[in-house]
Structure formats: C-alpha cells, structure tokens
C-alpha cells in the first residue's frame, strides 16, 4: 500500500463533505415532497438532477482519484443547475398583480429555488478552488476505494447515500405500478 499525500487526503475529505452537503439539500427536498406534500415542478426536478450531477464529480474523485475532468463534471452540472434555478427565480420574480411573489416553501426567507441557485454557486466556486489547488490533483491517485485508508468508509457511505437518493427520486418521479397488469 502506498502512502497517500496530505493534500490528497484533504481533497478527499472536502469531496466527502461536498457530497454530504448536497445529500442534505436533496434530503430536505425529499422531506418537503413526502412529508409536507409539496410536489416538485419540472424545474425543481431538473435542479435535483443537476445536484446529483454535481456529486457525480466528487464520487468520481473518490472512486477513481483526484482528476481535473472530475471537477469539470461537477462544474458543468453546477452551471446547468444554476441556469435552471435562475430561470426559476425569474419566473417567480414578477408575479401576477395581487398574487404573492415566489412559490413553494420559504426557508430563512428564501424560496427553495433561490437556495438551489446558491448551492450551485458554492459548488462552482468550490470546484474551481480545488482546481487551483494543484497539490490536490494527482494522476497517480488510485482513489480511496483502492486499498486501506481511513477515508474509505466515509466515501462508501457518501456514495451509497447519493445512490439511495437517486433511487428515491426516480421512484417518486415515475412511480411503481401497484398491480402486475401495468
């Protein structure tokens, strides 16, 4: 087993924290969907898919090693999600006279699509900052699932959490036929 350099370990921890942060946001969206019965619109669903895409770059970093192209995946999904969230903000910015501005739940005074825009902005900034930190990029890094390292269990939990959220989101979007005849 080869020794893992300090910057790589720090980058792994930051990727794990990023995955867990996005998973918390997606978990909150699922709470509002299933507990508060606030079904997501198409733009909300698109933003959720883009958040999963943001975590994909971090998952690739953890499983295959820290690479520039993995951060690029996160940035591409974050930009796409930010555009969808910005469109959502614009739709609700100028409501019909007499109707309240905004739609859906407001958390700390901001609607969920505004928070999504903020999350995507943070993801873009964090990914760009990691790209600037060249010590955390290493083409010889095999990823933390290769060999024994203390970041391996946390990485596995983060990846499984994202996969579980994907399954729940897919089932809630398309549903499962209740009868065998469908």
Tens-place pLDDT, residues 18-31? 988 998 898 888 88
pLDDT tens digits, one per residue of 94-134: 667 777 667 777 778 788 888 999 999 999 999 998 888 76
Q: Does domain 6-174 have CATH number 3.30.30.60?
A: no
Q: Is the dihedral of CA 55, 92, 170, 27 positive or negative?
A: positive
| Residue range 172-180: mean pLDDT, rounded | 56
pLDDT at 2 over 60: no
* Domain ranges across the chain: 6-174
Cα(143)–Cα(60) distance, rounded to whole angstroms?
Answer: 8
- The larger pLDDT score, comparing residue 9 to residue 121, is at 121
Confidence of residue 179 (pLDDT cuts 50, 70, 90): very low
pLDDT value of position 123:
94
Match 């350099």 to its residue by tokens: 5
3-class state of residue 24 by DSSP: helix
pLDDT value of position 95:
66
- What mean pLDDT value characterizes the chain? 81
The region that residue 176 occupies, defined by phi over 0 for left and psi between -120 and 50 for alpha, beta otherwise, is beta
Tokens of 3: 């020794």
pLDDT tens digits, one per residue of 59-84: 888 888 888 889 999 999 999 999 99
Contact predicate 61/70, CB 8 Å = yes
Contact predicate 45/104, CB 8 Å = no
Question: What pTM did the predictor assign?
Answer: 0.81
Q: What residues form DSSP beta bridges with 107? A: 110
């Amino acid at each position: 087993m080869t020794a893992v350099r300090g910057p790589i370990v720090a980058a792994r921890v930051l990727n794990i924290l990023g995955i867990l942060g996005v998973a918390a946001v997606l978990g909150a969206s699922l709470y509002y969907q299933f507990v508060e019965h606030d079904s997501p619109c198409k733009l909300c669903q698109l933003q959720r898919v883009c958040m999963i895409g943001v975590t994909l770059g971090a998952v690739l970093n953890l499983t295959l090693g820290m690479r520039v192209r993995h951060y690029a995946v996160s940035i591409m999904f974050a930009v796409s999600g930010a555009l969808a969230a910005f469109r959502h903000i614009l739709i609700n910015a100028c409501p019909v006279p007499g109707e309240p501005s905004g739609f859906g739940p407001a958390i700390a005074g901001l609607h969920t699509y505004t928070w999504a825009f903020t999350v995507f902005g943070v993801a873009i900034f964090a990914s760009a900052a990691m790209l600037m930190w060249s010590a955390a990029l290493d083409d010889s890094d095999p990823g933390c699932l290769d060999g024994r390292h203390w970041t391996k269990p946390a990485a596995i939990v983060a990846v499984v959490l994202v996969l579980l959220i994907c399954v729940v989101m897919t089932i809630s979007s398309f549903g499962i036929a209740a009868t065998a005849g469908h």
